[in-house]
Amino acid sequence: MTKPIQKIIFGSPGTGKSHKIVNKIIPNDLSISEESNIIKTVFHPEYTYGDFVGKLVPHSKGGKVEYRFFAGHFLIALSQAYQNLRESYDKDGNQIKEPENVALVIDEINRGNSSAIFGTVFQLLDREDDGWSSYFLNITELELLAILELIGVKIQIEDVNTRKGVIYEYKFPGTDHFVKDYVSAFQDRVKNLRMNLTQKQIYMPPNLSILATMNTSDNSIYFMDNAFKRRWDWEFLNIEDDNQRDVVNGRRLILYGEDKGEWNTFVDKLNSFTRSKYKVVRKIEDKQVGYFFINEDEITEEHIKNKLMFFVWDSVFNNNKKPLVDLLEVPESELVTFGQFTSEQQVKNFVNKILSL
C-alpha cells in the first residue's frame, strides 16, 4: 500500500489532466488495476452533498411511496477502501497482505460548490504520516448502515415498531446468524478500520486516494477558500512542458482536404499568438489550449470552426476582436459576427495566418 495521494491537477483546457490520472497515477503510482477500485464522478452546479455522500430518495412500491438511502460517490469509495482493508486481515486481526488502493476521481472539481459538496467530509482531508485522516467524523445512522452494507454486512428488517421505528438485524461476513445489536457483535471486526460503531465515528483510511482535475479557465465558477485548498497537493500541467505531447504526435490538421501539417505545431503557434496579445487578453494562462483540446486522430475544418474558433471568439478575444481583425487583415466591419469569422474563407485564412507566424 503506497502513501495516499490527495491532489488536484490543474491547467489549461486539453492539457491531458484526466489522461495523466487514468494512465499514469492510478496504474503506476497507486498500482490499481481493478475497475471496482476506481470510483469516478464529475462536479457540476447541481451536484450536492447528498450526491457525494448519500441521500434519501423516494420510490414507489406497491402503490406506496417509500424512502431508500442511496450511498454517494464518496461513501462508495470509502466503503470499497474499508472492504479492501478488512480483507487484508485474517479473522484473528493479523495482517496477511497489503490492502488494495482505491481512487476517488473527481473531474471539474471547481464546477461545483466544493465546500458545500464536501461538507463535514472536509474534516477527513487532513492526513497523518501513516495515511489515516487526522480527525474522525461522526456520521448518521443511515450513513453507517450504508457503509456496513457496502462492506458485506447483511441487513434485514426484523420488525417495524411504531414507536421506535424500524428494527434491523445484521449478519457480518464470516458469522452464521443475524443479530439485533451490531455494536456488540461487530465492533471487534471493524477495529482495523478504526470505526467506532457506538459513537458512529469513522476515519479515512490510507488506501483511499482522492484525485481531482480543474481547468484554470473555469477558475471563477466557484470560489475555493484557502482552508479547503491547503488540504490538497496541487500539480500544474504547463502547456510548454506538456508530457502528453509525444502521445499526440503525428496527428494531422486537414483543412478542406488539404494537409496543413501537424496539429501540435499549429497548437504551439496559436498559443504563441495568444500570449503575444497579453495586453488585451485577461488571464492569459487560461486562454491557451492543450494538445488534447481536440482529441481526434485527424483534425478537420469542422473541429476548427465549431470548437477551436468558437473558443477563440467567445473566450480568448470575447471583449476585444481587434487582434483577430489584425491577424486576418480584414476590415473591422467584416468581422462583426461569429458567422463571418467562421466562413470557409476566414477559416482558411485563420489557419494559414497562424501557421505563418
- CA-closest candidate to residue 230, choices 131, 130, 119, 122: 122
Whether 1 is in a domain gets the answer no
Per the structure, the count of domains in the chain is: 2
Beta-bridge partners for 89: 95
Statement to judge: residues 91 and 190 lie in one domain: yes
Write out the DSSP string of 137-165: EE--HHHHHHHHHHTT-EEEEEEEETTTE
- The verdict on 129 and 189 lying in the same domain is yes
Q: Is residue 26 part of a domain?
A: yes
| Predicted local distance difference test score (pLDDT) of residue 74 | 97
Q: Pairing relation of β-strands 208-215 and 298-299?
A: unpaired
The pLDDT of residue 243 is 56
User: What distance in Å separates the CA atoms of residue 8 and residue 319, rounded to the nearest whole number?
Assistant: 30
Looking at the structure, tell me whether residues 262 and 196 fall in a common domain: no
Query: Are 254 and 204 found together in one domain?
Result: no
For 324, the domain range is 245-355
Please tell me whether residues 71 and 194 are part of one structural domain: yes
Beta strands in 62-207 (DSSP E): 64-71, 102-107, 137-138, 154-161, 165-171, 201-202
What's 101's domain CATH number?
Answer: 3.40.50
The pairing of beta strand 233-237 with beta strand 6-11: parallel
pLDDT of residue 282: 82
Give 10-residue mean pLDDT values along the chain (357 residues): 87 85 94 96 94 89 81 97 93 88 95 92 94 95 92 82 71 86 86 92 97 75 81 86 62 95 93 93 84 90 96 92 95 94 96 96
Domain check: are 255 and 215 in the same one? no
Are 232 and 249 in the same domain?
A: no
